[in-house]
Amino acid sequence: MLQDTQIETLLLASTRFRGLVHTPSCDSTQLLAAAGPENDDRVFWADHQTSGRGRRDRVWHDEPATDLLLTLRVTVRLPNPAALPAALPVAVLEACELAAPECRLRIKWPNDLLVDGRKLCGVLIDRDSARPDTYRIGIGLNVNRTRFPAELEAIATSLALASGRLCDRSELLLAVARGVDRLLRELCTGSIATPLALFRERLGLIGRMVTVDGAPAARLDDIDFEHLTLAGGRRVPLAAVQSIRLERR
Ligand code: BTN
């Protein structure tokens, strides 16, 4: 387990992040990260959140000092901000597989990570219109917990459950921060071939029949970080897509 000062030194040496704010408990790291200047890229880490928030204002549940609850605050001028939500899970996926190489993760649209069909991680991006280049990237990752509340038991998992051993949260934090830092550079320079290939592979939907936002099922011919293309050439911007479901018939 790395000490916070060691994490901070490593973040400074190898990423855009200028510091780490680590707290035993807060309402939400998204709120913690909301205060602060622009161009002050920082990692906010809580061992527990009293009001953890998921997408669509759902509650994000954690097991204190067991999971990873992070907000990475970054200010970056992205050539295409719409690509970020689809691309981010790739960086987190790679960090998880570094920590638990025996696990094979899948991406579930829009930005969940699954293992063995159960949710391992969710990503949430907040951005204020007054500061459009500052993103608060919230990452909730189930790391070492082995029990879930009854309503999550059948649909959630953790790295420990999937790999059969405990993972070092501090090492994982560092791997996530490094992965996100690298991905942002790739998005800025347009060198996205590697993350895009992994995104396509782990989404696992190309060539399959899908339902996009409840429309009649159609074959997904292609997808990148910005668009999907359905059979017949219909191109849909991902920013407009709420759900992509695999048609199992
Ligand atoms: C989702 O799948 O709905 C996204 C979940 C995001 C949860 C993380 S935990 C750290 C950060 N703080 C929050 O309140 N939410 C995000």
Distance 112 CA to ligand 1 centre (A): 11
Instruction: Using the mean position of ligand 1's atoms as its centre, give its distance from the Cα of residue 50 in Å.
Output: 12
Give yes or no for residue 36 having a pLDDT over 90: no
Distance, CA 52 to ligand 1 centroid (Å)? 6
Q: Kindly report, residue by residue over 196-238, the tens digit of the pLDDT.
A: 999 999 999 999 999 999 999 999 999 999 999 999 999 999 9
Give Cα separations from 4 to 8, 65, 230 (angstroms).
6, 14, 47
Residue 249 pLDDT grade (very low, low, confident, very high; cuts 50, 70, 90): low
- Using N-to-C axis directions, what is the helix angle for 4-14 and 169-189, rounded to 10°? 20
* Atom from ligand 1 closest to the CA of residue 60: 7
| Residue ranges around ligand 1 (CB below 6 Å) | 28-30, 49, 52-55, 58, 60, 69-71, 112, 122-124, 138-140
pTM: 0.97
Strands 42-46, 20-23: pairing is parallel
Q: pLDDT for 52-106, tens place per residue?
A: 999 999 999 999 999 999 999 999 999 999 999 999 999 999 999 999 999 999 9
How high does pLDDT run on average in the chain?
96
